[in-house]
Amino acid sequence: MSASNNAQITPYISREQIALRIQEMAKKINADYTGQEIVALCTLKGSVLFFADIVRELKIPLRFEFLGTSSYGHGTTSSGEVKVTLDLNSPISDQHVIVFEDIVDSGLTLSFVLDYLRARKPASIKTATLLFKPTALKKPIKPDYVGFEIPNDFVIGYGMDYAEKYREMPYIGVLKP
């Protein structure tokens, strides 16, 4: 598959690998939260496909929340500025929240999201990210559940975009200019 502007997509993590890893992550979450109810919080837009797939593997009572954040604009490096583009629509106070993220890169977004949510006094917060770039991290945060640790490459597909493109790809690829 070749993208516009001569960008090249190299397949990186297949649909099958993603599905298997999500089952393993869900198994761990199911075990950790036995007997509890959770708020499953999807950050928009990148986490939509990951969220849709993992919630189907969860066996604990849950409700959905969505939080829209944006930090990237149209480049491939974080602007460092995070803003809320869509707010929660119910309180999360005294509830157990799991934040589902597509990818933790610099960690600026997740760290902003955690501060934002903590101010709403949940009983607990944990984070589950499909992808984690440990070498890109600029904030002292550690996601509780990680799908794949990846090097500092720019990835697309399975919810993740470059300038709003490629989100619908069912697998994850690396974008080379």
Nearer to ligand IMP, 39 or 101 (CB): 101
- 161 as an active site residue: the answer is no
Where residue 103 falls (left for φ over 0; alpha for ψ -120 to 50; beta otherwise) is: beta
Which does residue 70 touch among Mg ion, ligand IMP, none (CB within 5 to 8 A, set by kind)?
Answer: none
Of the candidates 98, 103, 41, 95, the residue with the CA atom closest to the CA atom of residue 68: 41
Which does residue 71 touch among ligand IMP, Mg ion, none (CB within 5 to 8 A, set by kind)?
Answer: ligand IMP
What does the chain come to in residues?
A: 177
* Alpha carbons 40 and 60: distance in angstroms, whole number: 10
Residue numbers of the site for ligand IMP (CB under 6 A)? 46, 71-72, 78, 101-110, 154-156, 160
Of the candidates 156, 154, 158, the residue with the CA atom closest to the CA atom of residue 170: 158
Q: Which of 53, 102, 105, 161 is catalytic?
A: 105
Of the candidates 55, 60, 59, the residue with the CA atom closest to the CA atom of residue 22: 55
**Footprint of Mg ion on 96-155 (CB under 5 A):** 102
Nearer to Mg ion, 43 or 95 (CB): 43
Which does residue 105 touch among Mg ion, ligand IMP, none (CB within 5 to 8 A, set by kind)?
Answer: ligand IMP
Written as one letter, the residue type at 59 is K
Which does residue 78 touch among Mg ion, ligand IMP, none (CB within 5 to 8 A, set by kind)?
Answer: ligand IMP
Residue 174 CB, shortest distance to ligand IMP, in Å, is 9
Nearer to ligand IMP, 33 or 45 (CB): 45
Residue 98 CB, shortest distance to ligand IMP, in Å, is 15
Pairing label, strands 145-149, 124-132: parallel
Residues 55 and 64 sit within 8 Å (Cβ to Cβ): yes
What sign for the dihedral angle of Cα 122, 124, 125, 128? negative
Q: Which residues bind Mg ion (CB under 5 A)?
A: 43, 46, 102
Q: Catalytic site residues?
A: 105
